[in-house]
Amino acid sequence: MFRRWVIGLAAGSSACTLHAVLVELEGLGLEIRPLQHFAIQQAYATELREQIRRINAQPVEVRAVARLHRLMGETLAAAARAVADSSGVPLARVLLLGCPGLTVGHDPEGRFPSALPLGMAAVLAERTGVTVVSDLAARDVAAGGQGTPLSALPDYLLFRQPHQTRLLIHLGGMVRLVWLPAGGKVGDLVGFEVGPCGVLLDALIRQLTGNKEQFDSGGRHAVQGKCVDALLEKWLAHPSLQRRPPRCLPRQGFGEEFAKLALEQAQRLGASLHDLLCTASHFVVRTLADAVARYVPGRPAIDQILLTGGGVRNGLLWRLLAAHWANLPLMRTDEVGFPAEYRQALSTALLAALTLDGVPGNVPTTTGAAGSRLLGSLTPGSSANWARCVQWLAHQVHAN
């Protein structure tokens, strides 16, 4: 009775690929357990990718934002349909769809804290017939939180161990970490946004190749250079990296403008383009290592490090991480049952399911919110699907 199929989407912050997961869940609330899952990855169309970059890099008309909002909805809906088609599970059997959208504005510490994801939930509901839980970060931000990392509770459900302390590191557009103490409870979790990763490395490779390459595949360019210590130390002093958690870092602060400035700095120092990418890779790992030493001290020792995100394919990043934590097992989450590149989409599916179960999805110790909150906005799917969701909700109300 407590089994349901849920789709989770992740738009990604690199504007290169998006991910979709269809997962069968058993149980309710904090007892949720994935039984099986199917996943796909899709590349953004070139035109859509360029529109996303323009939105992030320069002032735009409201009409352009509205148009991208619709196009992202169509793109995400196509991914949801594709993962259902590839799995052989008809959309009519899917209870719920979780979609955080593509974040183009995130300012949790401004005068009026806000978050703006693009991707029309109504389009998703219309194209799939499935009820959508969207805009997941907004409630946490409204409650005084950073809106990230919202993956902390899903990570707890998927990866906690009774006798093993794990450090989960996500190498996405930004680096995020979640510390999972052995046998710990939800309130024991530590998690925050660490620093840049793909958002910087991808911006640099686009600068260096004139947009011919969108990312440094496998780290093959970076591995040919050497680390420029003077440049590394300058970057490590960035004011954003000195803030204590909970924290959310400005993506724009480490994107195209940072890359342009870094290129000028490297040229003045006589560093090669390969040196610049190598230094940026060291910067990613040093920022992470410093954050762990500074903000996860005096706790049970880490037994195992799990890696997720597109950065797991970067050979130089992996080598630098392995060198820093030479005495610890370093592995992708694939080795414990969940593909590293689909962790965000799987997290979204779990957060959507928790909302329908009436269970708050944020963890105040990691986001800084004033308290736990139910996350997201509900957009009804077809009449039949919405009736199933209402029935599910009614059962939770009656049970409590």
Encode pLDDT of 228-247 as tens digits.
999 999 999 999 999 999 99
pLDDT score recorded for residue 235:
96
pLDDT score recorded for residue 104:
86
- pLDDT tops 90 at residue 47: no
Vertex 79: Cα angle to 8 and 312 (nearest 5):
65
The radius of gyration of the chain from alpha carbons, rounded to an integer in Å, stands at: 21
Residue 290 token pair = 């410093």
- pLDDT tops 80 at residue 57: no
Encode pLDDT of 244-279 as tens digits.
999 998 877 888 889 889 999 999 999 998 999 999
Contact 19, 344 (CB under 8 A): yes
pLDDT score recorded for residue 189:
94
Encode pLDDT of 89-123 as tens digits.
999 999 999 999 998 888 888 889 998 999 999 99
The Cα–Cα gap between 151 and 179 comes to: 12
- pLDDT tops 80 at residue 354: yes
Neighbour count for residue 44 (Cβ, 10 Å)? 21
Considering the chain, what is the average pLDDT of its residues? 92
* Per-residue buried b or exposed e for 246-284, using 16+ beta carbons within 10 Å of the residue's own CB: bbbbebeebbbebbeebbebbeeeebebbbbbbbbbbbb
Contact 338, 349 (CB under 8 A): no
Encode pLDDT of 201-222 as tens digits.
988 988 888 777 777 777 888 8
- pLDDT tops 70 at residue 1: no
pLDDT score recorded for residue 342:
94
The one-letter code for the residue type at 215 is F
pLDDT score recorded for residue 301:
87
pLDDT score recorded for residue 14:
67
Q: 94-99 and 131-134: which strand pairing?
A: parallel
Query: Which domains can be identified in the chain, with CATH numbers?
Result: 3-148+343-399 (3.30.420.40), 152-341 (3.30.420.40)
The Cα–Cα gap between 92 and 78 comes to: 16
Look at 131 and 273; give whichever has higher pLDDT.
131
Encode pLDDT of 311-334 as tens digits.
999 999 999 999 999 999 899 999
Mean pLDDT computed over 342-357: 97
The Cα–Cα gap between 10 and 20 comes to: 6
- pLDDT tops 70 at residue 398: no
Q: Of the segments 197-206, 297-306, 354-363, which one has the largest average pLDDT value?
A: 354-363
pLDDT score recorded for residue 60:
77
Percent of the chain surpassing pLDDT 90 = 75
Contact 172, 154 (CB under 8 A): no
Q: Which of 45-59, 135-149, 283-297 has the lowest mean pLDDT?
A: 45-59
Confidence of residue 400 (pLDDT cuts 50, 70, 90): low
Encode pLDDT of 160-191 as tens digits.
999 999 999 999 999 999 999 999 999 999 99
The Cα–Cα gap between 154 and 347 comes to: 5
Torsion of CA 26, 155, 215, 231, to 10 degrees: 180
pTM: 0.94
